[in-house]
Homo-oligomer: A and B are copies of this chain.
Amino acid sequence: MQNFESYNPTRIIFGKDTHVQVGMETAKYAKKVLLHYGGKSLKANGTYDVVVDSLQRAGIPFVELGGVKSNPRLSLVEEGIQLCREEQVDFILAVGGGSVIDSAKTIAVGACYDGDVWDFFSKGKMPEQTLPVGVVLTIPAAGSESSNGAVITREDTQEKRSFCSDIAYPVFAILNPALCYTLPKHQIAAGGADIMAHIMERYFSTEPHTDLSDHLCEATMCTLVQELPKVLVDVQDYDAWAEVMWTGNVAHNGLLGKGRIEDWASHGIEHEISAIYDIAHGAGLAIVFPAWMRYVSHICPSRFVQFAVRVFHVDLPMADTEAIVQEGIHRLESFFRSLGLETRLSEINIGREHFEAMGEKACNGGTLGGFQKLSPADVVKILELAL
């Protein structure tokens, strides 16, 4: 087990009707709020009205910035920073999924910084101050509601980059599973793949003596595999949504990686795909992860055996290591397909034309990943396995 630090100060407020209290929670921190969100669905499903009503009842003035898209854009972040300065905003309320939250976190650090906010993404500069951020989560997927990071896409250079800092944890995150009832099926499925990937990026580690953390990862993956299909059958199944939403949070609040060397190569490769093709991040991960697994499993087959046996209950003879490894990967792929996701690039009409550029960008002059350190050529081979 590696030495580690564990710190997560976000207050999670979880359950039925909890978003009604967002005004009261916000009032603990805010004099003037930037209400940040995506698009039409929030207004169509009534969540927007409840949040606005709650802010008004709490007597908190706010300005609005909607229009966040998946793979959130630097240009909108810059608009948000400008707006915060002009309107003397002291709190950002993100109502949405990971894209909205990441955009909000970036506006929050950018508003307190004299330079270019992209410095935090491109130059390894650490933000020193932030406006506090609160969250009403509407899509369980990214885990950004209680993570310390954000991912932003810069349109002019097709770069998708992230920053991490302890000051980026939201001060609160409200998780009401009933807010998920109106999500489209493809978005639910892609979100599920993102959650699964957050656990697997931590789980596939060559670090020995991580028994508790192994068991916790497996517990979380088993729950997701069991509960996610239920909400695709009945999108108003509160109990199943509660499991999925809580799973999505635990998957990425930091706990499951403690003491481990994490990987994150599949995320890195997927970021290059969605930076160019603008597909949903989770949909891309469902394609990249099985290919990555097939490419690297030889490094530490026992880890893939444990995954197959404990998460997907493969019960082939233990002597036949390679068959167990492959069956585990196959069952993961079958799980993604059962959700309605594609698992090959060719199925979403992506060919090999940008593979070399993706490999170079993903490795960014070095190597990618912790399980096996990948070169640009390795990344290309993984992308070829994903075709």
A215 close to B209 (CB less than 8 A): no
Taking CB atoms and an 8 Å cut-off, the chain A residues in 217-273 that contact chain B are 218-220, 222-223, 226-227, 239, 242-243, 246-247, 250, 255, 258-259
A15 CB contacts on chain B under 8 angstroms: 1-4
- The interface stretch among A6-14, A153-161, A357-365 is A6-14
From known contacts A14-B259, A218-B219, A219-B219, infer whether A243 and B5 are also in contact, taking CB-CB under 8 Å.
no
A216 at the interface (CB under 8 A from B): yes
Interface mask (A117-157 → B, CB under 8 Å = 1, otherwise 0): 00000000000000000000000000000000000000000
A219 close to B212 (CB less than 8 A): yes
Q: How many copies of the chain does the oligomer comprise?
A: 2
A12 close to B7 (CB less than 8 A): yes
A8 CB contacts on chain B under 8 angstroms: 8
A259 close to B246 (CB less than 8 A): yes
Give bound CA distance, A78 to B164, whole Å. 44
From known contacts A227-B211, A246-B259, A259-B246, infer whether A1 and B219 are also in contact, taking CB-CB under 8 Å.
no
Interface mask (A2-36 → B, CB under 8 Å = 1, otherwise 0): 11111111111111101000000000000000000
B3 close to A239 (CB less than 8 A): no
From known contacts A4-B15, A14-B4, infer whether A258 and B239 are also in contact, taking CB-CB under 8 Å.
no
Give bound CA distance, A255 to B249, whole Å. 12
CB-based nearest B residue for A246: B212
CB-based nearest B residue for A240: B209
A239 CB contacts on chain B under 8 angstroms: 1, 208-209
A4 CB contacts on chain B under 8 angstroms: 12, 14-15
**7 tightest A-B CB contacts, nearest first:** A3-B15, A215-B219, A209-B239, A6-B12, A219-B219, A9-B9, A7-B11
**Which residues of chain A have a CB within 8 Å of any CB of chain B?**
1-16, 18, 208-209, 211-213, 215-216, 218-220, 222-223, 226-227, 239, 242-243, 246-247, 250, 255, 258-259
Give bound CA distance, A55 to B153, whole Å. 45
A208 CB contacts on chain B under 8 angstroms: 239
Give bound CA distance, A226 to B212, whole Å. 10
A242 CB contacts on chain B under 8 angstroms: 1, 209, 259
B215 close to A220 (CB less than 8 A): yes
Pick the most buried of A10, A212, A213, A239: most chain B CB atoms within 10 A of its CB. A212
A212 CB contacts on chain B under 8 angstroms: 219-220, 223, 227, 243, 246-247, 250
CB-based nearest B residue for A216: B219
A247 CB contacts on chain B under 8 angstroms: 212
B18 close to A14 (CB less than 8 A): no
A sample of 30 cross-chain residue pairs with beta-carbon separation below 8 angstroms, ordered by A number, consists of A1-B15, A1-B239, A1-B242, A2-B15, A3-B14, A3-B15, A3-B16, A3-B18, A4-B15, A5-B12, A5-B14, A6-B12, A6-B14, A7-B9, A8-B8, A9-B9, A14-B259, A209-B239, A209-B242, A211-B226, A211-B243, A212-B227, A213-B246, A215-B219, A215-B223, A216-B216, A216-B220, A218-B219, A242-B259, A246-B258
CB-based nearest B residue for A8: B8
A223 CB contacts on chain B under 8 angstroms: 211-212, 215
B16 close to A5 (CB less than 8 A): no
Give bound CA distance, A2 to B177, whole Å. 12
Chain B nearest CB, measured from A262 CB (Å): 16
A222 CB contacts on chain B under 8 angstroms: 215
Give bound CA distance, A80 to B223, whole Å. 47
Give bound CA distance, A52 to B250, whole Å. 37
